[in-house]
Amino acid sequence: MFTKTNSFDDRVNRIQRRRRTRRGGMGFVVHADGVVTAIGRPSSRLRFGFPLKGLLIALTLAVLVKAYLIWFLGVDLYALEVTSLIEGAGYERIAGQIMLPDPISLWMVDRYDAIYAFIQAGMAAGDAG
């Protein structure tokens, strides 16, 4: 019976240690009289409520999609579509301003061209061989 209790206590301690590391050092102890007390120190790391990581991922995806549209439609047709958005009303103007080509998107268009040329060369080499 002692070994079962000992292994159970070891497991509880291991779980509490893991939780404590996730909470930045904080943990809780339940005493025999039922009182719960906090142990450890709270993390001194600043925590922002704003999801910066999600915003950066969304911005990256938006640039990738915009560059793909420029590459797929061509610069002339894309510029015509953006111009029609800018001449629209309300939200269309905002979308048109966002969809204007920027240096990063144009750089990505060049990368898409290089990738497409690489794939085409690989397919041509596969057909010839």
Say if pTM beats, i.e. exceeds, 0.75. no
pLDDT at 24 over 80: no
pLDDT digits 0-9 by tens, 25-69 = 566 777 888 787 877 766 666 666 778 889 999 999 999 999 999
**Extended strands (E) in the chain:** 27-30, 36-39
In contact, 28 and 36? CB cutoff 8 Å:
yes
